[in-house]
Amino acid sequence: MKSYLRLLAALAALAFAVSARAAEELNLFGWSEYIPQPVIDGFTKETGIKVNFETYSSNEELLSKLVAGGGSYDIVQPSDYTAEVMIRQKLLAPLDLSKLPHLKNLDPEFTHCGHDPEGKYTVPYMSGTVGIVVNTERVKTPIKGYRDVFDPKFKGRIVVLNDNREIVSWALDTLNLPVNTITAANLAKARPLVADWVKLVKVFDSDSPKTALLNGDCDLGIVWSGEAAILWNQSKKFQYVIPAEGAHRFIDVLAIPAEAKNKDAAHKFIDYILRPEVSVLISDAFPYTNPNAEARKHLSAEALANPASYPKGGGKIETFRDIGKAAADIDRLVTDLKSAR
Ligand code: SPD
């Protein structure tokens, strides 16, 4: 009788453990076109943790939803300079590095950077640049920089990122002004250039700017390097050019909001992403620059030769930093000019 009761108790404990495991959830808030669904499904299959996945198209959207949503997200995926803002505003939780044994796979070039010098809050996800894509079957003049793209003869043939900080940085680079020290005087100098440029643009799209180039709606683009890499894989007519005036290099990271309710599951997900075999799946679907040195060893020679994913040489390449309140000035400037076009 006693052993029968013990068996019953063990079964009840097992049922409890199984239902607790099934109830575990992870609320993931990431960039669109960046985290492949099979990677998320693989995590759920392995851990039993259900992932609720929401996407955004800009760092500004992430910030405003995170601030409004309190503790609704367990993992976010800001770019370096936005992670820096979040750290300053105490919106991120320090990571428990003992729960991230695969951190060792990262190339040190991408860790302990300016946005998180001690590596306490963020883990690099993917890196990349913002550059020019040219459909060389349709554009026969040499395209080397922003001024070549924003030539009035290309009016209605250009797709660019729908990202105000990016757009203003192209004008600042063109004028040889700093992209991280934003003053009213420099914004006033950039304004006429941006005003002219936005009038030439046909499509503003940060989610899938490749689409307008693939379907022939546009012949030139200023896009994320991963989008350019996908275009190159489709056809070598899509050439990637790092703008001669200067380009932006970003590191997008994974981080856990301070108010997250499922921090343990969040650490499990981040460590899963750091596994080489998982990271390779991400590179296959979204060929950005992979910061995971172990994963890179498993990439094909063709993937590593993609000039958008792994550009060789190049001129002035800068990272963006937290610019505080000036971010709102940039937003206002571009929003005004877009609505006046
Ligand atoms: N679709 C994924 C896009 C990722 C872009 N991250 C870089 C943002 C830098 N402002």
pLDDT tens for residues 143-174?
Answer: 999 999 999 999 999 999 999 999 999 999 99
Helix (H) or strand (E) holding 50: strand 50-56
Specify the pLDDT at position 11: 47
CA of 130 to the centre of ligand 1 (A): 9
Q: What is the average pLDDT value for the chain, to the nearest integer?
A: 94
Specify the pLDDT at position 337: 96
CA of 94 to the centre of ligand 1 (A): 23
| Residue 24 CA neighbour count, 13 Å, CB half | 19
Nearest CA to ligand 1 atom 8: 79
Specify the pLDDT at position 69: 77
Distance CA 40, CA 4 (A): 41
- Best CA proximity match to 334, nearest among 166, 181, 215, 207: 166
Distance CA 65, CA 201 (A): 28
Residues 6+ apart with CB under 8 A from 284: 303
Is the minimum distance from the CB of 227 to ligand 1 under 6 angstroms? no
Determine the residue of 252, 253, 319 to mutate for testing ligand 1's pocket, defined as the one with the most ligand atoms within 8 A of the Cβ atom.
252
Kindly tell me if the per-residue pLDDT of 6 is higher than 60: no
Distance CA 248, CA 170 (A): 9
Tokens of 340: 């006046």
Specify the pLDDT at position 10: 53
Distance CA 281, CA 39 (A): 7
- Best CA proximity match to 319, nearest among 132, 119, 130, 121: 130
Which pLDDT band, with edges at 50, 70 and 90, does 61 fall under? Answer: very high
Kindly tell me if the per-residue pLDDT of 217 is higher than 60: yes
Distance CA 32, CA 285 (A): 12
| Amino acid found at 201 | V
Q: Find the angle CA(208)-CA(198)-CA(143) to the nearest 5 degrees.
A: 75
Tokens of 283: 């590179």
φ/ψ (deg, to 5) at 235: -160, 135
CA of 334 to the centre of ligand 1 (A): 18
Which pLDDT band, with edges at 50, 70 and 90, does 1 fall under? Answer: very low
How do residues 234-275 score in pLDDT, each as one tens digit? Answer: 999 999 999 999 999 999 999 999 999 999 999 999 999 999
CA of 129 to the centre of ligand 1 (A): 9
* Residue of 64 and 4 predicted with greater confidence: 64
CA of 224 to the centre of ligand 1 (A): 6
Distance CA 123, CA 113 (A): 11
Is the minimum distance from the CB of 146 to ligand 1 under 6 angstroms? no
**Mean pLDDT within 272-289:** 98
Specify the pLDDT at position 268: 98
Distance CA 122, CA 250 (A): 14
Specify the pLDDT at position 8: 47
CA of 79 to the centre of ligand 1 (A): 7
pTM for this prediction: 0.92
Nearest CA to ligand 1 atom 1: 33
Is the minimum distance from the CB of 81 to ligand 1 under 6 angstroms? no
Nearest CA to ligand 1 atom 4: 31
Structural domains in the chain? 2-127+251-304 (3.40.190.10), 128-249+311-340 (3.40.190.10)
| Amino acid found at 162 | N
Specify the pLDDT at position 13: 52
How do residues 27-58 score in pLDDT, each as one tens digit? Answer: 999 999 999 999 999 999 999 999 999 999 99
Tokens of 221: 């683009």
Determine the residue of 170, 224, 290 to mutate for testing ligand 1's pocket, defined as the one with the most ligand atoms within 8 A of the Cβ atom.
224
Q: Among 6-20, 300-314, 320-334, which stretch is predicted with the lowest mean pLDDT? A: 6-20
How do residues 173-200 score in pLDDT, each as one tens digit? Answer: 999 999 999 999 999 999 999 999 999 9
